[in-house]
Structures are given as C-alpha cells and as structure tokens.
Structure 1
Amino acid sequence: MSRPGGPAPEPDCPELGFYGLAGHTDDPHDLLDEIADAERTGLGAVFLSERFDTKDAVALAGAAAAASHRLGIGTAATNPHTRHPLVTATAATTLHRLSRGRYALGLGRGFDALSDLIGLPRVTSARLEDTVALLRTLWRGEAVADHHGAAGDFPYLRRTATGEDRIPVLMVALGERTLELAGRIADGVVLHTFFTDDTLARAVRTVRHAAERAGRDPGSVRIWAVLATVEESVPEELRLRKITGRLATYLQGYGDVLVRVNGWDPGVLKRFRDDPLVRDHPGPLDAAPAATLERIGSLLPDEWLAACATGSAGHCASRIADQFGAGADSVILHGATPAELAPVVAAWRSRRDPQRFSSLPANPGWRTP
C-alpha cells in the first residue's frame, strides 16, 4: 500500500521545496494560501517544522494533504521522543494514506537545552536509530513485542491498520555524526540553512559514504540542501528578518555546531554572543525589531551572510544551481513564501534541465519512483 488510491500527480519542479509558515506565525491558516500559491508556482514540496505554539507538524501536514493535489509533504522535523512511537506511526500512516503517498516523516535531534527545560531526555543517535526501526516494523504491519531499547521499553506495539505502508523517513542533519547516521538509515536527508557550498559538498559526501559503508546504494538517499532565499522585491525589513534574523537565531541556539561545520571563526561567534544587544535580547532574534536586526547584522561577517540567495531572481536561480553543483538532489528555498518565491522559480524554470530531475517523485523522501 505504498500509494493507496493510485499515484498522486507530479509537481512541475519536484526538485524545489519551501518551508510552510517559515519562522514565527500566529495564524496557521496562512498555510492554506501558501499551499495554493506553491502549486500554482510549480514548487515540488512543502516542509513543516515544529514549534510548541501554533505549528504542530502533524496537524499542519494533515492540512497540507487536504489542501494540495501535487505537493510532496515532509515534516522537517519533529523529535522522536515528544510522541509515543505508536502515536507517531499512526500519524504517519494516516498522512501517507490521506496524501496518496506524498508524505515523508522527518525526525531530528532538537535542542538539548529545550529537552532539559521541559523534562525530556536528550535525543541520541541510538534513540533515533531505534525509533526508526520501531516505526518501520509497525508500518510493515508487524508487531513489536518485549522491546527494550534506546527508544524505550514497550511490552507490545501493533498498529490496528491493515496492510503494509511504505513511508520514507527523512533525517534532519547538521553535525557529522548525524549526517553519518542519516546515510546509514534514512531515505532522505534535510541539511541545514547557511551551509557554505564547500560545507554542502562535504555533507553530501559524508551521507553517501555512510550509506555505502552500510551496504546501501548511496544514490538512493535523497539529499535536500536548504538555501535561505530572499529575492530583491521583498521589502528590506523582511529581508533583514529572513536572512540576518534567521542566521542570528541559529547562532543563538546552536552556533557552535554551525560555525564548526562551516569552518568559521569561533572568536566571531563569541563576540556576537557577548554583545549586550544579543546577550540581553529576550527570545529569538528573528523576532527582533528592524533597528535591532540592523545592528546585529554589523556583528556578522559578510562571508557568513553570503551563504544564502539574495538579489535578482536570476542570481537566486544561479545560487540554486550552485547547490546542485555541490551534489544536492533537491533544494528547499527557505524563509520566503511561495508568492515571494514566484520570480525565483520562474527564473529557475528557464535554466533547469528536466531530464536531470525526472527521477524525483513528489514524495520528498524518495529518490526514485
């Protein structure tokens, strides 16, 4: 039952995705307009991150499945320990069948500090691997009995849904160990925003080599680059929020890892974090006033802010091509709405090679139909 009810129609540009409700939102209903715009524009997939506010990934994925006909849908990501594995398996089964096979479950480690704060254990590689194994067993229609592993102790687990469901697992990965884990066990990988082109190429090699060492076909793992993309028609204040604010927020939360993988200067990160404007700011910096973001931008090197796509639609399309040149299979255009991305997608259409992407189905977790 990999595609119940027959296959879904394919999108125009299955190699391009976007994040639904990127950043902060108080109105999840906006996702429905984004879905309609995305299908008109020709984007291939919507990715749904999760926050403990108005962005429950399962609820949003259900809305996306109901409101779309061609878009692939991926959670990118939820954490493996915020739901019981039987609940997660059930949610993914429901979304898989509801979307006619367009859904991929994305898992990630999350933030250690947040796990500590809300009283959950930190997510380890062992927990991710054990959770994926449990989910795949349940999706095959099999029972799990007397399980004792990193995901927990479960006397008996079994879905009541009949049949087998082939649901891909996406892994959201930043550091090398998670990239290697993704190569071993995941069907697709979502990388991180603000990777330099060299870092992207290294990440792709890490995933492919790990897959090969695990006895898998390295080309079967679909790798998504994530490119912050803000075309020149977007107002300056929004551009600041989507580029400067977004990077600054990442540096607040897990800047050490991002700086390390990019080979950036950790001294710059320390000066950034020690600046009173950053140190004393309550909450994520991408929600800060424009004047604050302008000042914060002066703390960040041009090299760091250049790991994105800005300027004309043609230049943004060139930056998309750079991601494919570095080895990515697909690219998430992060930070902008589908309406804002329309000029970029149009510019990309004028230069894309349809044959290159003919092996990409709508489902963002699969590499070949």
Structure 2
Amino acid sequence: MRIGTLLNAPSGPDGLRRLTDELRRSAEEGFDSAWLSHIFGVDALTALAVASSQVPDIAIGTAVVPTYPRHPGALAQQARTTALAAGPNRLTLGIGLSHRIVIENMFGYDFDRPTRHMKEYLSVLVPLLEGSPVSYSGEMYTVNLQLSVPGEGGVPVLLAALGSQMLRLAGRRTDGTVLWMTGAATIRDHIAPTITAAAAAADRPAPRIVCALPVLVTDDVEAARQKAGENFAAYGALPSYRAMMEREGVDGPEDLAIIGSEKQVSARIEAIFEAGATEFVGSVFVGGDEAAHTRALLTSLASKG
C-alpha cells in the first residue's frame, strides 16, 4: 500500500521551519508521500519548495492548487521550479477547480464553464510541465510560450475530479485524480470505473487514484466523530462534496472520517484500496498520543507494500 500524510498548513513566523520539520519526520517515519493543501494560507508550492529542498527521500504533492487564479503558464513555471528545488521525480502537482463560492465570491472570476476552463487549462499546463513549447488558441486562453526552467522529466498532474465529466477529462489528459471526502463505495462504483475507462479509451496508463480522508486511531470514537464533524463541517455544505456524501449514503464528514481501533481503521483503509484507490493520504486531525498512534499505524500499512 502507498500511504501518505497530509501536512499541517504552516502558520506563524516559524511556519516554514515547522513544515520542514514535519516533512522530515514523515520521511523518517516511513510515509511514502506528504501532501500540502493550498487554501488561504501559505502558497503550497512555494512552501514545498522550501521544505523539500532540505528533506530528501519522500514524495511531495499539492492537494490541490486552484486553477482559476493562476495562468497555466505561470503555474507550470512555479511547479517546475518547485520540482527543481525538490529533486527529480518527487513532485506531483494536484490541481482543481475549487468551488463557485471561492472563485466567484472571493476571487471574482466567472465559474459558469468549469469544464471548458479545465480543458483549455490542461492544454497549456501539461505540455509546459513536460518541457514542451505551447502554441494554443482557445476560447479562454491564447498562449505562445516556452519555459526554460532546468530539470529533466515532467511533473505529473492529478486533477481533483468528482463528477463524471471531470473524471473523464482527468483520465484522458492527466495522470489521475486526487480525492477528498469520498468514500470506498463511491470510489468503487463511480470514481474508479469512470476515470479508468477514460484513460483506457485514450490509450493512457492506468490512472492514479489518490484518496485523502481524515483518520484517527482512538478508543473514544464518539468524541473523535464530534471533533471531525466540527473540523470538517464546511465540506458538508459544498455541493461537490455533498454529492459524494449522498452517493456514499452518509450524512456528513464525520461519517467519512476513518475513526476507531487499529483493526477498524486498517480495515477501512484496506477497503479503499480494494475499491480501486492506488494511494491513501491520511489527515490526522488531532494531536498528542492519538496522533502518534495513528501515524504509526499508517506507516505500518505503508511498510507492507
């Protein structure tokens, strides 16, 4: 099993130092990968460039960078620079549309044609990440650009995709998808079949399906469920995640969070892999002894291969 950890968003004046320490600890503990969200704190790619330049031997990824606020050429330039800082074959660029409330209400962009936006965005981004020049003219982007950022090989792209159109686009044009608030039944019945069929039809390799969920090994399940419900309440109100919860047949984020004994947590993670996920990323949402216990279980699963 490939098991990763979701890094804590850096805060405070020493946030990047603490992020570097957390990345180093994750590598030493035996995690296969470490991922950083990009929301309203530090820029995820910049932060990962700083931390990974000082910590070798662990894959890194963004989960995920919103596309609308960044020109695809600028994002390709930044991602290739981060990959240069990290070293070869370490960075995975996770990207996504974000949500209407963020893109329209906060950034002021039009969110009416998200699929068209992403199709054109990938037409520019992917070749530049692979080191190729781009000459593209579409409805939303007209780009003639070549980057000179050094480095061998490309940067793999995962597209955060939940709906059928985006999953098919991810299968045809990217290396896979990175998920959040999506359970095993939904992966088995919707995510994996849709993206895998699209990749096969495009004669692409089998896609990566990275499943990220809150996780905690604990004896006090009810208290942990309440904490998860509080911490992740906002996701239950976002339409794309709410649709996945309805598919899964659950009421809220606390039902998708993987909480319980070592045996129960292990069984639910194994079910995610059996459903078609290729990687699991755990978001350990409390600290202290329970966090240490949870991380130890996750790395024991990673060591099984």
User: TM-score, normalized by length of structure 1?
Assistant: 0.71
Q: Does structure 1 residue 116 correspond to structure 2 residue 104?
A: yes
Q: Does structure 1 residue 227 correspond to structure 2 residue 216?
A: no
User: How far does the alpha carbon of each residue in 1:92-149 deviate from its partner, in whole angstroms, 9 at most, with x for none?
Assistant: 111112211200111101011221112112261222222222123223443333x322
Partners of 2:287 and 2:192 in 1: CA distance: 26
Partners of 1:63 and 1:349 in 2: CA distance: 24
Match of residue 87 from structure 1 = 74
Give the root-mean-square deviation of aligned CA atoms.
Answer: 2.9
Do the aligned partners of 2:211 and 2:277 also contact (CA within 8 Å) in 1? Answer: yes
Aligned 1:1-369 pairs, distance under 5 A? 15-21=2-8, 28-29=15-16, 30-52=18-40, 54-101=41-88, 102-117=90-105, 118-122=107-111, 124-145=114-135, 147-154=136-143, 156-161=144-149, 165-193=153-181, 195-202=182-189, 203-217=191-205, 219=206, 221-232=207-218, 240-241=226-227, 243-254=228-239, 256-263=242-249, 305-336=254-285, 341-347=291-297, 354=304, 357=305
Partners of 1:182 and 1:161 in 2: CA distance: 25
SS, match of residue 104 in structure 2: helix
Amino acid at match of 1:325: E
CA shift, 1:332, in A, is 0.8
> Quick one: higher RCO (CA 8 Å, sep 6+), 1 or 2?
1
Greater CA radius of gyration, 1 or 2?
A: 1
Do the aligned partners of 2:183 and 2:272 also contact (CA within 8 Å) in 1? Answer: no
CA shift, 1:91, in A, is 0.9
Partners of 1:150 and 1:79 in 2: CA distance: 20
Do the aligned partners of 1:75 and 1:105 also contact (CA within 8 Å) in 2? Answer: yes
Do the aligned partners of 1:41 and 1:342 also contact (CA within 8 Å) in 2? Answer: no
Amino acid at match of 2:20: L
CA shift, 1:169, in A, is 0.4
**How many residues of Structure 1 are paired with residues of Structure 2 in the alignment?**
297
Amino acid at match of 2:293: P
Partners of 1:162 and 1:352 in 2: CA distance: 33
Q: Return 5+ residue gaps in structure 1 as ranges.
A: 1-12, 265-299, 358-369
Do the aligned partners of 1:229 and 1:334 also contact (CA within 8 Å) in 2? Answer: yes
User: TM-score, normalized by length of structure 2?
Assistant: 0.85
CA shift, 1:41, in A, is 1.6
User: How far does the alpha carbon of each residue in 1:253-303 deviate from its partner, in whole angstroms, 9 at most, with x for none?
Assistant: 235423343245xxxxxxxxxxxxxxxxxxxxxxxxxxxxxxxxxxx57xx
